[in-house]
């Protein structure tokens, strides 16, 4: 299997491109529904794109902060005494020169910062997908229950929607998303039965009790998973533009 590792600048570009795409979709959706729904800001068709765009913007800013601040000597040296010097009291004196210790500490802080961001990004994006599936399911497949949040097994609900939209080829990418998110939730270890998942023409192997070997998890999300998720969202929302209003039960108008 071929892995793709993006340089930090390329990650910023891909995240920015996706953010702008989602923002534009939010604006287009708002215009499409504003004539029939004066409360479009709390309509889930709009908030789906707007919330995803905001999450991707946070990820972009996080990568920019690491690239342009944490990794830069000028920023690090001018801010260390203010925000990080408290760590010096726990330094191992056997490690040698103070500047060398600080250099290793900076790398640890920088790496941990991005790792924490990635956990939040996976969790937030998956939560957006799952919540939308549970709302859209009844509108698409169970009209008598419109407006209610569909309970039940998430994977089964997704299967029903993908079948309706003729997007069965996307099921592997959703399964990959589920497995990757669950692995992160379990501290990087896959805990289910051994499985091989196919997404976008590539195979990803998951072995019980082991961390998955699918390359960089941020690259996997922004290059492989999210483009498929956005396409599925597009198909669902385009089918639902005929509805007058679909209130987002999770939205709070500012």
Structure tokens at 229: 């998720």
pLDDT digits (tens, 9 = 90+) for 171-189: 999 999 999 999 998 989 9
Determine the distance from the C-alpha atom of residue 114 to the mean position of all C-alpha atoms in its chain, rounded to a whole number: 13
pLDDT classification of 149: cutoffs 50, 70, 90 = very high
233 near 205, Cβ under 8 Å? no
Report the distance separating Cα 78 and Cα 80, nearest Å: 6
Residue found by looking up tokens 């500490």 in the block: 105
Cβ partners under 8 Å of residue 103, min gap 6: none
Average of per-residue pLDDT across 20-29: 96
Half-sphere exposure of 215 (CA within 13 A, CB side): 16
pLDDT of residue 254: 47
C-alpha–C-alpha distance, residues 120 and 218, integer Å: 11
pLDDT score recorded for residue 6:
52
How high is the pLDDT of residue 244?
Answer: 84
pLDDT > 70: percent of the chain? 92
- Give residues with Cβ within 8 angstroms of 203, minimum separation 6: 1, 196, 197
Neighbours of 43 (CB within 10 A): 24
195 DSSP 8-state letter: E
Amino acid 94: pLDDT: 62
| Residue 252 pLDDT exceeds 80 | no
Burial class of residue 124, CB neighbours in 10 A (0-12, 13-18, 19+): middle
């Amino acid at each position: 299997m071929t892995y793709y590792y993006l340089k930090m600048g390329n990650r910023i570009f891909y995240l920015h491109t996706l953010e702008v795409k989602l923002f534009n979709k939010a604006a287009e959706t708002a215009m499409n529904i504003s004539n029939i729904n004066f409360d479009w800001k709390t309509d889930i068709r709009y908030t789906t794109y707007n919330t995803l765009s905001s999450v991707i913007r946070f990820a972009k800013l996080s990568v920019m902060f690491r690239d342009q601040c944490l990794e830069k000597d000028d920023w690090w040296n001018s801010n260390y005494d203010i925000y990080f010097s408290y760590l010096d009291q726990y330094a191992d004196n056997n490690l040698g020169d103070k500047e060398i210790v600080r250099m290793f500490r900076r790398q640890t802080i920088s790496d941990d910062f991005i790792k924490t961001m990635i956990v939040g990004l996976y969790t937030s994006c998956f939560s957006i997908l799952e919540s939308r599936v549970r709302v859209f399911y009844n509108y698409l497949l169970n009209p008598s229950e419109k407006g209610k949040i569909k309970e039940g097994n998430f994977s089964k609900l997704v299967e029903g929607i993908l079948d309706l939209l003729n997007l069965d080829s996307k099921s592997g990418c959703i399964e990959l998303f589920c497995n990757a998110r669950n692995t992160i939730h379990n501290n990087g270890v896959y805990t289910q039965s051994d499985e091989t998942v196919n997404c976008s023409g590539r195979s990803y192997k998951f072995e019980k009790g082991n961390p998955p070997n699918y390359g960089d998890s941020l690259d996997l999300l922004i290059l492989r998973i999210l483009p498929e998720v956005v396409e599925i969202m597009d198909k669902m929302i385009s089918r639902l533009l005929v509805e007058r209003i679909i209130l987002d039960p999770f939205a709070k108008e500012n």
